[in-house]
């Protein structure tokens, strides 16, 4: 059974699949433009020293997202 | 020049449209691409202009132009702002899109990063939708080779229906082939009739099919009616205004268009595909199409980024080592700048002040009044000599060192480490770099 959780809950090294974006407006568009849509594989690769932002591997590119933005991305593991 | 509202947005494109042809035979070629794919390097390589290439998105806000000659033909290259999309969510995207739509380029070149081609294809697909006279330049082929990524350019070209060439612009490789491809598109020896048409959800396709015929006449050969139909459905008012101005036809007031638009929107409403939902569906279709194209044309030995890069990143950004390394590196840069600058400063001031004495001697010898000598030599010249000897050496040391860190890709890691702290003061991590630049100048 898949459980939906925010991207922020992903630990380093974990991989998940994007299920929905609850973000609105320009941030939603920007994430979509870099390929973050339903079904996209996403891996959490590093956390910055303060724990925020966090770097994710999305479609072969490493991208840093702030918690305020990644909280609006719902993912499911496994 | 700062980013004033005049240097971005619509005014910039108006200025960008002043294309300076050297001869009427010159062809206009727009250069688009995601940020940080080496677009400005391609531009510089082709035009021999030295536009500064930066590591931050949106480096090019207004359109830079340069001329290049290829086999006796002149091309005006227009470097348009780097963007991930042409949906006009930002000033850069708007300038980029307006140039492609209304700037009347004879061909477009989309520069891509071979190491993350899939993400880059989004922009390629959107560009082809506007104009099929597009050439894809897959840059950083050398980097891709290092990372064991194989890009099948011929297959990519077959799938996209437009010419695709490889390049390593930093070592000036592949630029000739790129211009050959551009020429083939401009003169029509490469037929772009089979340029890829991104398929959207069936309901969207039906809506487009309703609206497209009504737009064929106003569009003529100047805009793609399919593309314009989609923008009308999205209700992109700013674009519709610009398009009407460009075409000189107020098509949105045409009753035939209005009637079809209403029908098409009804069709979408039934499928719950209006407004945001429509945009979501359009973007998703583009991303899925990019994924599909790449699946057959790009082979990754290792889909994730290399373990070596991963290790380095972990060391540079971890809790335990991130800050110490950062402080050490910045301290080393500052130490080199401040201590290292003392020596050349010394030499410069010795030399320049020796010249001052000679100048003063000269004034005495000519018998000029002493106030003139005081004003020009002990006033103007001395100040200048001071400023040069104090300011020039630290800058000549600091900026190359900083560029080195930039080229090594360290600066984005610094921004990543510091973002949280800068955010607390309502700034963002990228601004830490501006601060670093200011420090030695204040010194």
Q: Cβ(B156)–Cβ(B132) under 8 Å? A: no
Q: Cβ(B121)–Cβ(B84) under 8 Å? A: no
Closest residue, chain A, to B281 (C-alpha): A37
pLDDT at position B436 is: 64
Q: Strand pairing partners for A19?
A: none
pLDDT at position B162 is: 95
pLDDT at position B437 is: 60
pLDDT at position B330 is: 86
pLDDT at position B314 is: 84
Q: How far is B420 from chain A (nearest CA, A)?
A: 6
If pLDDT is split at 50, 70 and 90, which confidence band does B111 have? very high
Measured between alpha carbons, how far is B158 from B150 in angstroms, rounded to an integer? 16
ipTM metric: 0.88
Q: In the block, which residue shows the tokens 């299920």?
A: A19
pLDDT at B12 over 90: no
pLDDT at B357 over 80: yes
Residue A66: other Cβ atoms inside 10 A: 18
Measured between alpha carbons, how far is B111 from A39 in angstroms, rounded to an integer? 27
pLDDT at position B438 is: 59
Q: What is the mean pLDDT of residues A27-41?
A: 88
Q: Which residues contact B308 (CB under 8 A, 6 or more apart)?
A: none
Q: Which two structure tokens, joined as six digits, stand for B15?
A: 């200025």
How much is the mean pLDDT over chain A? 87
State pLDDT tens for residues B64-109.
788 888 998 899 888 888 888 888 677 778 888 888 888 888 999 9
Residue B274: which of B197, B199, B198, B207 has the closest Cα? Answer: B207
Q: Cβ(B336)–Cβ(B397) under 8 Å? A: yes
> Between chains, do B323 and A49 touch, taking CB under 8 Å as contact?
yes
Q: Strand B298-300 relative to strand A54-58: parallel, antiparallel, unpaired?
A: unpaired
pLDDT at position B42 is: 92
Q: What is the mean pLDDT of residues B35-47?
A: 88
State pLDDT tens for residues B210-258.
999 999 888 888 889 999 999 999 888 888 888 888 888 888 888 888 8
Residue B207: which of B232, B242, B237 has the closest Cα? Answer: B232
The answer, for B82 touching chain A at a CB cutoff of 8 Å, is no
Q: How far is A17 from chain B (nearest CA, A)?
A: 15
> Between chains, do B279 and A55 touch, taking CB under 8 Å as contact?
no
Q: Cβ(B75)–Cβ(B20) under 8 Å? A: no
State pLDDT tens for residues B283-316.
999 999 999 999 888 887 765 556 777 888 888 8
Q: What is the mean pLDDT of residues B264-281?
A: 88
Q: What is the mean pLDDT of residues A21-48?
A: 88
Measured between alpha carbons, how far is B174 from B181 in angstroms, rounded to an integer? 11
* Identity of the residue in B87, B287, B420 whose CB atom sits nearest the CB atom of A52: B420
Judge residue B73's burial from the number of C-beta atoms within 10 Å of its C-beta, 0-12 exposed, 13-18 middle, 19 or more buried.
middle
Using only C-alpha atoms, chain B has a radius of gyration, in whole angstroms, of 27
State pLDDT tens for residues B113-140.
998 898 899 999 999 999 999 999 999 9
If pLDDT is split at 50, 70 and 90, which confidence band does B161 have? very high
Q: Cβ(B192)–Cβ(B134) under 8 Å? A: yes
If pLDDT is split at 50, 70 and 90, which confidence band does B9 have? very low
Q: What is the mean pLDDT of residues B270-290?
A: 90
* Identity of the residue in A40, A60, A66 whose CB atom sits nearest the CB atom of B116: A60
The answer, for A26 touching chain B at a CB cutoff of 8 Å, is yes
If pLDDT is split at 50, 70 and 90, which confidence band does B4 have? very low
Q: What percent of chain B has pLDDT over 90?
A: 36
pLDDT at B3 over 50: no
Q: Is the dihedral of CA B222, B224, B227, B229 positive or negative?
A: positive
Closest residue, chain B, to A27 (C-alpha): B89
Closest residue, chain A, to B289 (C-alpha): A35
pLDDT at B63 over 90: no
Classify residue B147 by its DSSP letter: T
> Which residues on chain A are in Cβ contact (under 8 Å) with B419?
48, 50, 52-53, 64, 66
pLDDT at B145 over 60: yes
């Amino acid at each position: 059974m898949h459980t939906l959780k925010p991207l922020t809950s992903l630990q380093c090294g974990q991989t998940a699949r994007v299920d929905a974006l609850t973000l609105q407006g320009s941030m939603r568009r920007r994430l979509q433009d870099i390929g973050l849509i339903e079904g996209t594989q996403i891996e959490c690769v590093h956390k910055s020293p303060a724990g925020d932002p966090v770097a994710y591997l999305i479609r072969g590119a490493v991208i840093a997202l702030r918690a305020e933005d990644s909280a609006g991305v719902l993912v499911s593991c496994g | 020049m700062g980013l004033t509202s005049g240097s971005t947005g619509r005014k910039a494109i108006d200025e960008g449209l002043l294309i300076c042809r050297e001869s009427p035979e010159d062809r206009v070629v727009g250069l688009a691409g995601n940020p940080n794919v080496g677009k400005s390097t391609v531009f510089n390589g082709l035009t021999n202009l030295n536009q500064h290439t930066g590591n931050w998105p949106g480096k090019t806000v207004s359109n830079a132009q340069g001329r290049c000659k290829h086999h006796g033909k002149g091309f005006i290259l227009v470097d348009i702002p780097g963007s991930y999309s042409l949906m006009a969510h930002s000033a850069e995207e708007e300038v980029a899109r307006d140039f492609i739509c209304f700037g009347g380029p004879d061909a477009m070149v989309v520069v891509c990063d071979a190491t993350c081609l899939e993400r880059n294809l989004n922009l390629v697909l959107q560009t082809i939708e506007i104009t099929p006279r597009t050439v894809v330049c897959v840059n950083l082929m050398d980097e891709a080779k290092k990372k064991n990524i194989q890009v099948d350019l011929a297959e990519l070209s077959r799938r996209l229906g437009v010419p695709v060439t490889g390049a390593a612009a930093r070592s000036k490789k592949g630029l000739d082939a790129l211009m050959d491809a551009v020429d083939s598109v401009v003169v029509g020896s490469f037929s772009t009739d089979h340029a890829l048409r991104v398929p959207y959800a069936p309901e969207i396709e039906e809506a487009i099919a309703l609206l497209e015929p009504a737009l064929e006449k106003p569009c003529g050969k100047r805009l793609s009616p399919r593309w314009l139909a989609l923008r009308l459905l999205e209700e992109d008012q700013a674009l519709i205004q610009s398009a009407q101005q460009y075409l000189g036809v107020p098509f949105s007031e045409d009753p035939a268009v209005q009637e079809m638009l209403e029908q098409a929107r009804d069709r979408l409403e039934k499928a719950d595909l209006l407004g945001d939902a429509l945009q979501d569906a359009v973007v998703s279709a583009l991303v899925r199409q990019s994924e599909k194209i790449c699946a057959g044309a790009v082979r990754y030995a290792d889909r994730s980024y290399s373990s070596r890069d991963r290790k380095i990143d972990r060391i540079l950004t971890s809790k335990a080592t991130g800050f110490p390394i950062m402080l050490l590196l910045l301290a080393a840069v500052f130490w080199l700048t401040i201590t290292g600058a003392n020596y050349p400063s010394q030499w410069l001031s010795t030399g320049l002040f020796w010249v001052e004495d000679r100048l003063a001697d000269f004034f005495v010898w000519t018998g000029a009044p002493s106030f003139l000598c005081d004003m020009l030599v002990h006033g103007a010249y001395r100040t200048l000599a001071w400023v040069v000897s104090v300011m020039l050496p630290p800058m000549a040391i600091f900026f190359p060192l900083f560029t080195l860190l930039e080229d090594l890709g360290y600066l984005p890691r610094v921004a990543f480490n510091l973002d949280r702290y800068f955010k607390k003061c309502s700034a963002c991590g990228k601004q830490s770099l501006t601060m670093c630049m200011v420090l030695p100048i204040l010194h």
